[in-house]
Structure 1
């Protein structure tokens, strides 16, 4: 379940004029940019730490979060999940502290063509695929996603 702060900020960000919403998010996050903590080599290993330093985004503009916040708020309050015919694959870890697993599972369960892949074997609970943070689950997630996409597209195999 999202925190009360997130619930309040999400609706305020949606309802306020754009400039005021940007200001609200900057106050909530302590500035115009979010800077994730650098990953140490002793946590990731030297090779993965080097990949992180080279390829990972190190600064996120807080204002960019307004678009997904608005999308989540609008869809969450207006979308009729039961009538959505679009195939949806959600990959989620119950221990993720960024995305609410129970909300994800509940939404996917309402989708006629929704599938939930519970990921428990990833080294990271939020980033569940990729060579840097989740090399152990990356290949399986790629295979699962391609299998889902080929089935959803109605083709017999993926080139």
Structure 2
């Protein structure tokens, strides 16, 4: 199984006055361009995502929209995934993913959670994987039923400016 870890594109800055909740932050114009670029370039790299798991925040949903259009994903192929919200637990996410077998999935989430999940999946949380805003990592899990620590191999990690 191919697992595409997609960090949300650039969002508006946190509101220092606290008038806007973190989960309500939307993409900037640059972020919308980044999301479109991801949706255009991943298929060009051979990505064929069958199911997309999305954190329940505005910025991740907006990042996911062009991806959904690129692969024609609707209905059950798009999963609202609270385990991808900021502060989500790795083992709960792994358990959730194990219930949705597919040959290729995408996860649209946040830092540091996606970075931590990537490190856990390849076998060491000591490994520092840094997925940029609008960046993507591809991890291959050889057995889609095995979502244990160390079950995956990092295939590539692309910063936003390489996509």
Pair in the same fold by TM > 0.5: no
Q: Which has the higher contact order (CA 8 A, sep 6+)?
A: 2
Calculate the TM-score normalised by the size of structure 2. Answer: 0.30
Calculate the TM-score normalised by the size of structure 1. Answer: 0.30
